[in-house]
Structure 1
Amino acid sequence: MELRVSLSLLVLLLGLCEAMPFMSGVDYDIFTHEPEDTDLTTQILTANKDSEELLVEGDVAVQLQRNAVSCFFCKWKKSANGLVEVPMTISPDFSFYDRMKIEKAMLTFHEQTCVRFVPRSTEVDYLSLENGRGCHSYIGRAGGMQVVSLNRYYCVYNSIIQHELNHALGFYHEHTRADRDQYVKIHWEYIDPESKYNFNKQFGNTLGTPYEYSSVMHYGRTAFSNQNGKSAITTIPDPTVSIGQAQGLSTTDILRINKLYGCCKYACMMDAEVCMYDGC
């Protein structure tokens, strides 16, 4: 343990933490402790209150001008080795501890899916993780440099980092699924009329997976409520089910990533537990 700490601090002192993600021998848990009661929605919406970006659903960035090679939305490309390598850069504005949290959040994708966030070399399409004004991301591969904003004072939490990266892989929020009315009730009377568009349904592919209250993509009860804490979203039939409190990717989130990118077979070979996921 002490050796791992010493190696990490040495990297910090030498200023090498920007050189390569996922440093060998690092015990990420030493640097990434965070409160268990983090409310994902409150953090994201608070961070984005003063954002100058055009956002829908609270944290989905909309690109108004796209070049000819862009599309909405594109998946990231799978390599011949079966991996989906997503080029990315991480801003030097993040502290060493911020970097550790970001890398730990990425490790879950690396360990349980075929997605790999890799340092960008000359790729045209890539993610730029930045200490921006809020927590937000585009949906899927938008083309060119696309910012994933992770304000270091509000957004560098495991659940929020994974939430925004999941947007970048192509996923919308759980509460906007086409079948959501079977699982949650939207209390329109507690939502400002100008915010109601954030609850528009997305008629996308559910990949044959069930609605998931514990998904890292599910917003909390008071999201967009204008009534001092009254619920804008209530789970049904049991109104006490927890939503918006996920600490990270759920098993269903992981399953969806592998199904969207056709990587169930690869993920199963890497982790036997993945084989037990329904449909993988």
Structure 2
Amino acid sequence: MYTYVEMNRVNFSIVFGVNIVLLLFVGSAFTNPTKTEELNIEDFENYNNEINVEDEEADAKNRNAVNSPLQRWPSNILLYRISTDYNKDEVDNVHAALQVFNESTCLVFKQYDPRIHGNSKHIYYKKSPNMCGTKVGFNPLSPMGPHDIVLNPYCLSERGVIQHETLHVLGLYHEQSRPDRNKYVQIEYSNIPQQYWSQFIAYPEMYTTTYNVKYDYESLMHYSQFAFAKDSTKPSMRARNGTMVIERKMGQIVGPSEGDLTKIRLMYKCN
């Protein structure tokens, strides 16, 4: 079991003027999805493990992109380390997943070497038998050592899932919780268990930003239209086209969309 104990968010806000995302990993078992239809990101991120839904910080992960520069990584060169528990295919998947950012943004993911880099801040891809998750954005109160991304073998089998968690670390939240989302989606709360309502909160611009990037139904950070649905034959989210509500596919696990990459380029001031 992994338990992250952090300072109170209010104290962070007083000192730094930012909202630091706090997550609590709890020890409930996580089983791999068994449904045969197309999988989506909510089938991999185990929210009851990653976030204590009763905790006052549980909703913080759902904003769209960090608004404070203190939560962005201070360098465009990001060091990363892969657990020795990973097998060769899993290691190759992490390397290949990160190559997309090297090729499509100004970020450079470079392997961490303790002999060279000492205790420098780095992203640490750890292995877990049951959990998949991470904390969002850079923590200015912990400028040294590892920032953990915890992945189980099932999550490690999908490069898109590895990229999704990496985008969280870089500072992206879930697309359907951006401040303007009510113009683009209608949340069907009656078809969502109340314990997951916090995953669908839209946040005001004082806490997050869209970087003026168009709403992206195809974002790697978007839930599917059936996310957490009580009745899996009915959508938990419907797309809006003006005043009309329409049925359409949302979300995917193939890889970052152009909208996802555009936000990273803007966030990290890529030319």
User: Larger Rg: 1 or 2?
Assistant: 1
Fold equivalence (TM over 0.5): yes
Q: Aligned residue pairs: how many? A: 211
- Cα contact 1:215–1:252 (8 A) shared by 2: yes
Among 258, 266, 270, which residue is 1:259 paired with?
266
Which ranges of structure 1 fall in alignment gaps of 5 or more residues?
A: 1-36, 61-70, 79-83, 266-280
SS in 2 for 1:244: coil
- Cα contact 1:40–1:159 (8 A) shared by 2: no
Which ranges of structure 2 fall in alignment gaps of 5 or more residues?
A: 1-36, 63-67
Q: Give the letter aligned to residue 74 of structure 1.
A: Q
Whole-angstrom CA distance in 2 between matches of 1:258 and 1:72? 14
Higher relative contact order (CA 8 A, sep 6+): 2
Among 221, 230, 254, which residue is 1:247 paired with?
254
- Cα contact 2:186–2:239 (8 A) shared by 1: yes
SS in 1 for 2:102: helix
Aligned to 2:181: 180
Aligned to 2:84: 92
Cα distance, 1:239 vs. partner? 2.8
Q: Give the letter aligned to residue 255 of structure 1.
A: T
- Cα contact 1:59–1:136 (8 A) shared by 2: no
Inter-CA distance 110–52: structure 2 relative to 1 (3 Å threshold)? closer
Whole-angstrom CA distance in 1 between matches of 2:61 and 2:38? 17
Whole-angstrom CA distance in 2 between matches of 1:58 and 1:226? 23
Q: String of CA shifts for 1:81-104, please: whole Å, max 9, x gaps.
A: xxx111221011111111111111
Aligned ranges 1:1-280 → 2 under 5 Å: 38-45=38-45, 48=46, 51=49, 54=52, 56=58, 74-78=71-75, 84-120=76-112, 121-132=117-128, 133-142=130-139, 143=142, 144-203=145-204, 204-237=208-241, 239-263=246-270, 265=271
Inter-CA distance 116–88: structure 2 relative to 1 (3 Å threshold)? same
Whole-angstrom CA distance in 1 between matches of 2:106 and 2:69? 22
Q: Give the letter aligned to residue 99 of structure 2.
A: L
Whole-angstrom CA distance in 2 between matches of 1:73 and 1:44? 29
Cα distance, 1:196 vs. partner? 0.8
Whole-angstrom CA distance in 2 between matches of 1:210 and 1:183? 10
- Cα contact 1:159–1:247 (8 A) shared by 2: yes
Q: Percent identity?
A: 26
RMSD between superposed Cα atoms in Å: 2.5
